[in-house]
Structure 1
Amino acid sequence: MLKLLRKYKSVLRFLIIFIGSYLVFVVLYQLFLTYGGSSRYFPDIITHTVARQSQSVITSLGYDMQVVPSKWEPAMNLTMNGKTLARVVEGCNAVSVMLLFISFMLAFFGDMKRTLLFIFGGAALIYGMNVLRIALLTIGIYEYPQYADVLHGTIFPAVIYGTVFLLWIGWINSYKKPVKDE
């Protein structure tokens, strides 16, 4: 048993750091949502900001979009011509995706400066991609309502998780040692 532990020490270390940091981040985020929220921003400051920024993207593309806090649930409704097209709830703000990304990065930590720059850059990219994702999803639902389910359930989740996957692959590939020609 000890021999196996030694053999797979790096894999076990990766899993413990990855799962452990993710669980710590999730608990801290839940505490933030429970106790750190401001009554000024509904449903929470991050979800509120993502909804407002998505509205800005949509209106910059020529659509008349309003963001209205929901009266029945903790969500921001994206409304066009009096019709609610999308709801931005806490799960849509990409925080959980960013926490997953950051946990992986901590488990696959390299040089301090390089790793932290990649974490901040990657989290910013994920955040920006998510705002764009929500904006394009809302426009897609407006223009092609018959495809709402496939857009929301398949295509746009693939975009955000695909971005994370490509960031991870890029980070791992940056560790490859150059092959020497003989």
Structure 2
Amino acid sequence: MEFYNYIKSLHLIFVVTWFAGLFYIVRLFVYHAEAKQKPQPEQDILIKQYQLMQYRLWYIITWPSAVLTSIFAFWMLFFTEVGRVWLAQPWMHVKLAFVFLLYLYHLKCHQIFRQLQNNEVKHSSSFFRIWNEGATIILFAVVFLVILKNALNWIFGVVGIIAFSILLMVGYKLYKKVREKNNS
């Protein structure tokens, strides 16, 4: 059992670094999209710096963390007795569905990353701010599932974070309007 706890600890550490990478990469996407609106030469200087930061974050932290998270998760689930028991429980099936969604989110971020590395900005900074909430919702759902170990109770946590996200977006829209009004 003690060996299992080491594997679980490593899994959790890499989950944290993976999410940190996902949260920060989208923040860099926001800055990149905003830099596209700047005048020259400021635009070129900022975009070059953001591309470098995105590249390092994505390939040195985010991708390795995603891979190591999965390795330790598979190890826990398939090579320990506790993991095999959990695989039979409904809450774990729901959690794994959210993990699948997280990988889809990660792959979409990778697609956006590659576009921005080619300086193809196809989305606005507002889109990226909303996009960042996707990882937050998945994180809340997974944490509630793992802690509560119930396939239904996680819904209350996710509904709460969605409501909180809507409030944040409304607050952001109001702040944006006030900022625009003050700038004009």
* TM norm structure 1: 0.34
Q: Which structure carries more helix by proportion? A: 2
* TM norm structure 2: 0.34
Q: Which structure carries more strand by proportion? A: 1
Higher relative contact order (CA 8 A, sep 6+): 2
